[in-house]
Amino acid sequence: MLNLLASLNFPQIGELVDWKSFGPGGFNKADLTIILAGVIVVAFFVIGGRKKALVPTGVQNVAEMAIEFVEGQIVMQTVGEEGLRFVPYLTTLFCFILVANLFEIIPLFQFPPMARMAMPLFLALVTYVIYNFQGFKHQGLRYIKNSLTQPGLPKAMIPLVALIEGLQLVIVKPFSLAVRLFANMLAGHLLLVTFALLTDALIFHNTLHFFTPLAVLPLAMDIGITGFEVLVAVLQAFVFTILTAVYIGQAMHPEH
């Protein structure tokens, strides 16, 4: 048992998200997956919109289903008809995050680029700019007042509420949006790596062959978690997109 435990060499968390560069400017696998995710999404919609058949089939059918899903289940439920102009952005956002997340289970890649904070934070900042712009566009300078205070508050509570709401508007919303996506994808990646290392140790680095059959346990867990991570990939893409729509809707329609 001691020999088996000694054979387990778990990498540091930093090693799991820090890929060695293989190109100019520090280009690495995480950068490659982000570019591929973008290319795949663009190609998907270009191919889907090429035929424009009245009865869609194949890629066109899937593309239209994605657009209708975002329009009906996200935009109309959170923003309303005024938000229909954001359907292209929100659909692209949903598909991009989904494809990027799915790289976690693709052989040779096996890493979700959203498990590095840079990309979720960038997407969150884009959302931050959009919903604040919409707030000023629809409400003018009243957007600041409407965001920091609520009708009917006692005067003594206004400074405290304004401070809390200001922190939420400037820091909490974009930061939590990024961290939620980052943390969920990193956690799933760590679980997959953990059980993969256990399986490898029991099969290939086990001097006590009595324990070799136990490899079926971490292997089964790894397979199960892989299936679960597909669900997480979809769910996290949906959560990020719907929260983006919610923030845009709140900025466009102040509470009264």
> What is the reported pLDDT for 147?
79
> What is the reported pLDDT for 256?
44
Q: Has residue 145 got a pLDDT over 70? A: yes
Q: Which domain holds residue 134?
A: 2-252
Contact 121, 130 (CB under 8 A): no
Report the percent of the chain where pLDDT is more than 70. Answer: 83
Q: Report residue 152 CA to chain centroid gap.
A: 37
3-state secondary structure 175-218: HHHHHHHHHHHHHHHHHHHHHHHHHHHHHHCCCCHHHHHHHHHH
Q: Has residue 95 got a pLDDT over 60? A: yes
CA dist., res. 248 & res. 77, Å (int): 12
> What is the reported pLDDT for 8?
56
Question: Token digits for 58?
Answer: 């194949």
Q: What are phi and psi of 9, to 5 degrees?
A: -120, 85
> What is the tally of structural domains in the chain?
1
Closest CA to 123 of 254, 247, 255: 247
Q: What is the pTM of this model?
A: 0.85
> What is the reported pLDDT for 239?
95
